[in-house]
């Protein structure tokens, strides 16, 4: 089945620094990837849609200068949290759609990255 990986699985950083999270589709090429954040015991909130070779589409209320998304290849999207602050601490999850199975609308999720900003 389709596998999506994330790296790192957890990261601790100091306030004011930037952190990059990688999302890779391992056995398929993903023209579209999605980024979500999840607070403890809460739901996933869609942050942005990452499109290979073009600018990401951000959901309302998500700061594009704060959360930089780069989808430079068909298997890799990155999310950079710039000038991180403690309120950015969260669980970040990516997902991807397999373009060969677009009609199924199924998304394949990575295992998530736990970010803690001190």
Partner 1 sequence: SQQGEEDPQALSIQEGENATMNCSYKTSINNLQWYRQNSGRGLVHLILIRSNEREKHSGRLRVTLDTSKKSSSLLITASRAADTASYFCATVVSTLGRLYFGRGTQLTVWP
The residues of the shown chain that bind partner 1, judged by CB under 8 A, are: 4, 6, 32, 34, 36, 41-46, 49, 59-60, 91, 93, 95, 97, 102, 104-112, 114
Q: Closer to partner 1 by CB, 54 or 104: give it.
A: 104
Tokens standing for 36? 């979500």
Q: Check if the beta carbon of residue 41 is closer than 8 Å to that of residue 33.
A: no
Q: Closer to partner 1 by CB, 10 or 18: give it.
A: 10
Distance of CA 53 to the CA centre of its chain: 16
Smallest separation, CB 110 to partner 1 (Å): 5
Query: 113-117 and 10-13: which strand pairing?
Result: parallel
Q: Closer to partner 1 by CB, 62 or 82: give it.
A: 62
CA distance 4 to 76: 10
Nearest Cα to Cα of residue 109 among 46, 61, 52? 46
Smallest separation, CB 95 to partner 1 (Å): 8
Smallest separation, CB 83 to partner 1 (Å): 25
């Amino acid at each position: 089945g389709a596998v999506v990986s994330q790296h790192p699985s957890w990261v601790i950083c100091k306030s004011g620094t930037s952190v990059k999270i990688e999302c890779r589709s391992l056995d398929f090429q993903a023209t579209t990837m999605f980024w979500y954040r999840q607070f403890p015991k809460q739901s996933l909130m869609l942050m942005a849609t990452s499109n290979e070779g073009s600018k990401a589409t951000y959901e309302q209320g998500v700061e594009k200068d704060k959360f930089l998304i780069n989808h430079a290849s068909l298997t890799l999207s990155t999310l950079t949290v710039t000038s991180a602050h403690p309120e950015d601490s969260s669980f970040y999850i990516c997902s991807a759609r397999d373009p060969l199975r677009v009609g199924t609308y199924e998304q394949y999720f990575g295992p998530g990255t736990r970010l803690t900003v001190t």
